[in-house]
A and B are shown apart, each in its own frame.
Chain A
């Protein structure tokens, strides 16, 4: 069921990237599999959380090719367990949380492990229409032959129902409420009606294995509220941001270096500047400083993804406009542009943070001193 890898691409889907691991799991999975599932729930969990360094027999190259299953999601193990079980039941799964908490990655991994295919994806936007979700028509064929399976262009949900696969619906709350509600009947009746057909194809019954993984940001401004009818059909799972400072520092460092490499920029990233950046992000995200003092949380999202963005642009700033050394000034400059976008309240909160927390830390010198001294950038 696992597809062969296509020619190299910029970002292959999870089932291609981790094909060897899926093969190994498939070969060693002796537990009962739910109808329509590629793997047993336990094997799906192992795929996401790793085999703890233990090699499993059977990889891409036959039974002798022992493969270690890598850990792909770092964080709450029980959350993964609950998510898998939600997909087993009657309800669908909605991953909620702040942006940049690896919700999409988690949904991709789940789809890859359960259906062997993570590409049945609807990307929710303000302009998403119902036919992008369900199906549309090849109008030339429609005019020539009338409605039929040949002229129907299946959307991700149609394909998911037909083939018994997991469908991913990203950023579901970005869609108009009436578009979101198109899912209500599909999720409760588990079938899709194509009124244009008059024959046996009129009702498309869901094959076992079909389900939907949605993702939504609770803190994103400008989103549409979900109707309670739709909410009832989902189990909600909140994906938390990374709480461990060292882990977050490592992730940000690695991703920034990768981005710099891709951009062809060669520079050293001083650890104390990275520490300043992550400390600031964690302080503002938790509303509490390392020392235990409380600070005001800004309304903007202080996610790991934003930290990477700030870190990357601070490096570019230093590379192109500075002396090539990233310090507190660059971080502060990018923090204002990248994170603190339009809310004047947030600027006030950042100013307070600089005046109180950064001021105290500026006595240590180094990037904190530069960071504090750049507070004039915020205006008065």
Chain B
């Protein structure tokens, strides 16, 4: 049994509220990063003057309390904890389906304990320090916390999680229903309306009771099985024991001042009502020798604090709440009014400074502030709060489409409300998790760090898992531009070269610059993998910028990088970015380039692609379909792009030809080619290419192809005959036609003979290009064919013999003078090498 069955929820709620304040024991339930909680807690500590404060957080963090209360520390800062479990190589796999490799890989768990100015935990530390209270963290230590939670144990996550997990509130049925009933969009808005409205207002006792009741309902509507699974019960059991101990200690000392317990409100019911007393909990054991533990205090940023920015913890828009916290207004109404006014004037100003297409005036700011204030009044908020502010911006600032102009404004608004501050830690507390991650991995992989002698590595990436891991490590460092390994040869998915090679060659050399570069990258993440992810995310962000001229190939490249850097847990985002870009790609050549990239990914799968292969296949197929759709427009391509269009057509044909597995619908390509060729609207060069393509299709009718060519050869435009351009296109795609079909040569012969001198000279450049693509052997074959056509029996004499020595000398001298003249004019690059 986990908790006593309540006779009625209301009765126990009354009991619970009474238990919050007992004989010299005070509970303060909080929401992490809540200015209202922080403000009331500050008042509470100043008034109650507790002898000792217990704060939710791993107990080993006590070591950082001197740093945290130091005047040299400026929030936001975080305590970073990480654990690398060394799993024994001979450990049996969990089940037969798990590959052996996974069980031998060290598992890595990183967590942040972030604190900002308005974190109640921060206030507890600072205010507690000021009144001389004993301060301690009293939660399980980080390694045992990880052990206790089954759900977090499964994966090796490159992105550290926050220790302030709020998923219980987000996913809570009761709170969701409450939010719906109050007309709130989500849990954040509900919280703001109910509690942030009491910032610098109201009675603290009453506030505590309200928060406690709110959390009580969240807690009693969470299934026990979930609490057991994620380790909450074990943690609460530990916290409760520590609480008992501290109470006894204070009693022994005859302390008259109270003990204050500051935890997330979700845990308060269990601690205040003593539920853990009846629990039977297995405390996880942890062997320090089998793991590597690192804990450090690091600077943190508002960007990382923002719940809307991919870090699933804490409040959205931390910069906004920072302003609320720092405001000097005396009450909540004026505070929110002032902060709203500030943002609503700053946003138009920033838009003007950025010189965006969308410009707003002071009148717009005034209208938006009125709108926000009225919205707040209709919603019974004390002043315009965060959601009122955002709604007012939408009503008064966005005059066009929501996803165009609206996005421009909202991106900027959310950025302003996010804030850009970075915290500071005392110099003696700094440590670089990234460097430590590098050292651990290099050591595990047997890449020597002791010397700076260059070492060559020959890696069989498709056969040996260890080599694979080394390759991945080196690729990641390379991507981060950390000087350590140099890729000398091997299959390269990114550039699409040497894809059939089986081995990679690297030259590795450690230098002090290696670690210096890592320290430079330390803001990008706490592990090498995370830093790679951060960089790739930046690329994705660039892709989604409005003005970016990046297209589908860039998105496909980002996906390729994500795969070759082994960021499989996050592949979905890269997939969807690639899909989005494909959807909006309007250029045929770029569409084909992305298709080629994706098909390479699909064909030459990286040894670790594994489960994602079918998704990649689907995406590659989608790209192919898109390319076929875009192909319909090639007839309108400008003249200078014809060459690129032809190359793209050939590439697409290769994809179709190489698709032995039949994963794509080849008929889509061939039907489009045929429709375009039949339409006859394409420029001659592209038309030639299309006919050339048709002649490579299996089972085509050679006579029909010849008919098409003959018909097309008769074409004319303003410049004269289009036959030369047609031939250029034709032979670019399919040179074989020139020597395999004597009829074609005969027809060309007749055509050229019919031309006058001027016509022929005009056609010559194109004809040269058309035939220059032939290899010497192919040229010979064409020549032999023509010779036969003209009925000459003797073999061709390829050499000119009627020149004497003086002729050669004169010409050599002339060539020398030309070379000198070109060199004088700085045009020496005109000369053939």
- Chain A positions within 8 Å of B, measured between CB atoms, are 41-42, 77-78, 81-82, 84-86, 88-91, 218, 231-232, 234-238, 287-288, 292-296, 348-349, 352, 355-356, 359, 380
> Does any Cβ of A come within 8 Å of B312's Cβ?
no
CB <8 Å contact, A82 and B395: yes
The docked-state distance in angstroms from the alpha carbon of A238 to that of B671 is 41
CB <8 Å contact, A82 and B675: no
A86 partner residues in chain B, CB cutoff 8 A: 371, 395
B185 partner residues in chain A, CB cutoff 8 A: 78
The docked-state distance in angstroms from the alpha carbon of A292 to that of B576 is 9
Closest to A31 in B: B378
CB <8 Å contact, A85 and B583: no
CB <8 Å contact, B399 and A236: yes
Q: Is the interface of B mostly helix, strand, loop or mixed?
A: helix
CB <8 Å contact, A294 and B583: yes
Q: Can you name 11 A-B residue pairings with CB atoms under 8 Å?
A: A78-B391, A85-B375, A86-B371, A91-B367, A231-B399, A234-B399, A235-B367, A235-B395, A236-B398, A294-B582, A296-B629
A231 partner residues in chain B, CB cutoff 8 A: 399
B671 partner residues in chain A, CB cutoff 8 A: 355
CB <8 Å contact, B583 and A288: yes
Closest to B185 in A: A78
- Chain B positions within 8 Å of A, measured between CB atoms, are 183, 185, 361, 363-364, 367, 370-371, 374-375, 378-379, 391, 394-396, 398-402, 406, 579-580, 582-583, 618, 622, 625-626, 628-629, 632, 665, 668, 671, 675, 678
CB <8 Å contact, B375 and A90: no
CB <8 Å contact, B395 and A236: yes
B665 partner residues in chain A, CB cutoff 8 A: 356, 359
CB <8 Å contact, B370 and A356: no
B396 partner residues in chain A, CB cutoff 8 A: 91, 235
The docked-state distance in angstroms from the alpha carbon of A41 to that of B364 is 23
Closest to B404 in A: A218
CB <8 Å contact, A294 and B626: yes
The smallest C-beta distance from B676 to any residue of chain A, in angstroms, reads 11
Closest to A89 in B: B370
- Contact with B379, one of A81, A90, A238, A292 (Cβ below 8 angstroms): A81
A349 partner residues in chain B, CB cutoff 8 A: 629
CB <8 Å contact, B579 and A85: no
The smallest C-beta distance from A294 to any residue of chain B, in angstroms, reads 4
The docked-state distance in angstroms from the alpha carbon of A356 to that of B582 is 15
The docked-state distance in angstroms from the alpha carbon of A359 to that of B667 is 12
B379 partner residues in chain A, CB cutoff 8 A: 81
B361 partner residues in chain A, CB cutoff 8 A: 232
The docked-state distance in angstroms from the alpha carbon of A355 to that of B668 is 8
A85 partner residues in chain B, CB cutoff 8 A: 371, 374-375, 378, 395
A77 partner residues in chain B, CB cutoff 8 A: 183
On whether A81 and B399 interact (CB within 8 A), knowing A90-B370, A292-B579, A294-B582, the answer reads no
The smallest C-beta distance from B74 to any residue of chain A, in angstroms, reads 37
Closest to B387 in A: A78
The docked-state distance in angstroms from the alpha carbon of A287 to that of B401 is 17
A41 partner residues in chain B, CB cutoff 8 A: 378
Cβ-closest 3 pairs across A and B: A294-B583, A235-B395, A238-B402
A292 partner residues in chain B, CB cutoff 8 A: 579
The docked-state distance in angstroms from the alpha carbon of A86 to that of B373 is 11
The smallest C-beta distance from B570 to any residue of chain A, in angstroms, reads 18
CB <8 Å contact, A237 and B395: yes
The docked-state distance in angstroms from the alpha carbon of A90 to that of B671 is 60
B375 partner residues in chain A, CB cutoff 8 A: 81-82, 85
CB <8 Å contact, A90 and B629: no
- Contact with B675, one of A218, A359, A380 (Cβ below 8 angstroms): A380
B579 partner residues in chain A, CB cutoff 8 A: 292, 294
The docked-state distance in angstroms from the alpha carbon of A127 to that of B665 is 52
Total contacts A to B, CB within 8 angstroms? 84
B401 partner residues in chain A, CB cutoff 8 A: 218, 238
B371 partner residues in chain A, CB cutoff 8 A: 82, 85-86, 89, 91, 235
On whether A81 and B183 interact (CB within 8 A), knowing A218-B401, A380-B675, the answer reads yes
The smallest C-beta distance from A346 to any residue of chain B, in angstroms, reads 13
The smallest C-beta distance from B614 to any residue of chain A, in angstroms, reads 13
CB <8 Å contact, A42 and B402: no
The smallest C-beta distance from A221 to any residue of chain B, in angstroms, reads 15
CB <8 Å contact, B629 and A89: no
The docked-state distance in angstroms from the alpha carbon of A380 to that of B183 is 52
CB <8 Å contact, A89 and B367: yes
CB <8 Å contact, A82 and B367: no
The docked-state distance in angstroms from the alpha carbon of A237 to that of B396 is 9
CB <8 Å contact, A90 and B367: yes
CB <8 Å contact, B378 and A84: yes
A81 partner residues in chain B, CB cutoff 8 A: 183, 375, 378-379, 391
The docked-state distance in angstroms from the alpha carbon of A86 to that of B665 is 53
A42 partner residues in chain B, CB cutoff 8 A: 378
The smallest C-beta distance from B189 to any residue of chain A, in angstroms, reads 9
The smallest C-beta distance from B351 to any residue of chain A, in angstroms, reads 15
The docked-state distance in angstroms from the alpha carbon of A236 to that of B395 is 6
The smallest C-beta distance from A48 to any residue of chain B, in angstroms, reads 12
Closest to A52 in B: B181
The docked-state distance in angstroms from the alpha carbon of A42 to that of B380 is 11
On whether A352 and B629 interact (CB within 8 A), knowing A78-B391, A86-B371, A236-B398, the answer reads yes
Closest to A352 in B: B629
A237 partner residues in chain B, CB cutoff 8 A: 395
The docked-state distance in angstroms from the alpha carbon of A42 to that of B675 is 61
A238 partner residues in chain B, CB cutoff 8 A: 398, 401-402, 406
B374 partner residues in chain A, CB cutoff 8 A: 85, 88-89
The docked-state distance in angstroms from the alpha carbon of A91 to that of B372 is 13
- Contact with B583, one of A78, A232, A287, A380 (Cβ below 8 angstroms): A287
A232 partner residues in chain B, CB cutoff 8 A: 361, 363-364
The docked-state distance in angstroms from the alpha carbon of A231 to that of B402 is 15
CB <8 Å contact, A293 and B622: yes
A78 partner residues in chain B, CB cutoff 8 A: 183, 185, 391
The docked-state distance in angstroms from the alpha carbon of A354 to that of B139 is 60
The docked-state distance in angstroms from the alpha carbon of A293 to that of B615 is 11
A90 partner residues in chain B, CB cutoff 8 A: 367, 370
Closest to B671 in A: A355
CB <8 Å contact, B632 and A348: yes
The smallest C-beta distance from B670 to any residue of chain A, in angstroms, reads 12
B678 partner residues in chain A, CB cutoff 8 A: 380
Closest to B189 in A: A78
The docked-state distance in angstroms from the alpha carbon of A78 to that of B396 is 15
The docked-state distance in angstroms from the alpha carbon of A352 to that of B631 is 11
The docked-state distance in angstroms from the alpha carbon of A237 to that of B582 is 30
B632 partner residues in chain A, CB cutoff 8 A: 348
The docked-state distance in angstroms from the alpha carbon of A312 to that of B704 is 47
The smallest C-beta distance from A216 to any residue of chain B, in angstroms, reads 11
Known: A41-B378, A81-B379, A91-B371. 8 other contacts (CB 8 A): A78-B185, A218-B400, A234-B399, A235-B367, A236-B395, A293-B625, A348-B632, A359-B665
The docked-state distance in angstroms from the alpha carbon of A234 to that of B399 is 8
Closest to B615 in A: A292
The smallest C-beta distance from B554 to any residue of chain A, in angstroms, reads 17
A348 partner residues in chain B, CB cutoff 8 A: 629, 632
Closest to A228 in B: B399
- Give the one of A81, A91, A236, A292 with max B CB within 10 A: A236
The docked-state distance in angstroms from the alpha carbon of A42 to that of B182 is 12
B399 partner residues in chain A, CB cutoff 8 A: 231, 234, 236
CB <8 Å contact, A356 and B625: yes
CB <8 Å contact, B626 and A82: no
Closest to B622 in A: A293
- Contact with B391, one of A82, A234, A293, A356 (Cβ below 8 angstroms): A82
The docked-state distance in angstroms from the alpha carbon of A89 to that of B366 is 11
The docked-state distance in angstroms from the alpha carbon of A89 to that of B629 is 49
The docked-state distance in angstroms from the alpha carbon of A218 to that of B399 is 11
The docked-state distance in angstroms from the alpha carbon of A42 to that of B370 is 18
Closest to A86 in B: B395
B675 partner residues in chain A, CB cutoff 8 A: 380
The docked-state distance in angstroms from the alpha carbon of A380 to that of B625 is 18
B628 partner residues in chain A, CB cutoff 8 A: 352
